[in-house]
Amino acid sequence: MARKNGAVTVARMDCMSPDCGERVAVFQNALGYLYTRCPECACDQRKGAGHQAYIWRHMEPVAGVEIVRPPNLPDGYGEPGQPPQSAPPVPAEPIGTVPTVQSEKRGGGLVWLALGLLGVGVATVASAAGAGSQV
C-alpha cells in the first residue's frame, strides 16, 4: 500500500524546545512552510517569519532532497543551515531630526530679521526726528 502521507523529511535539526534534546525531522508543506515533528514535543507548524527563519538556519538538509524557500523567509537568508548573509540595512541617521532643527533655526532667523528691520525703522524715525528738532 502506498503511503497516504506524502511528507518527506527535508532536513533534521535539534528540537526547538530548549530542554528537549531530541533530534527532530523537518518537513515542508505544500505552501513551502517548514515544520518539525518531535517525538516528545509533537508537531510544530508555526508559520511566523521568525520561526521559519530559525528552522531555515538551524536545519541540516537531507542530501538529495529539494527544499523550497519558505514564502515569508526574510531577506538575507542564503542556503539552508547557514546564518543570514548580512543584516538588514539600518538607516544611517534618524529621519526628521536634522530638517526639524534647520526649520526651527530658519523660523527663528525670520523673527529676528523682522525685529531687526523694525528696530532699524524705529532708529531711522528717531534720528530723523532728532535731526529735525535740531534744525
Binding site for Zn ion (CB under 5 A): 15, 17, 20, 22, 38, 40-41
The minimum distance between CB 75 and Zn ion, in angstroms, equals 29
In degrees rounded to 5, what are phi and psi of residue 130? -65, -45
The minimum distance between CB 9 and Zn ion, in angstroms, equals 16
Separation in Å, CA 65 to CA 4, 44, 113, 114:
19, 21, 74, 76
Nearer to Zn ion among residue 41 and residue 62 (C-beta): 41
For residue 13, list its beta bridge partners: 24
C-alpha cell at 89: 540595512
Q: How far apart are CA 127 and CA 64, in angstroms?
A: 97
Nearer to Zn ion among residue 40 and residue 104 (C-beta): 40
The minimum distance between CB 56 and Zn ion, in angstroms, equals 18
Nearer to Zn ion among residue 40 and residue 60 (C-beta): 40
Separation in Å, CA 4 to CA 8, 24, 105, 123:
12, 21, 72, 98
Nearer to Zn ion among residue 43 and residue 114 (C-beta): 43
Task: Indicate the pairing of strand 34-38 with strand 11-14.
Answer: unpaired
Nearer to Zn ion among residue 40 and residue 79 (C-beta): 40
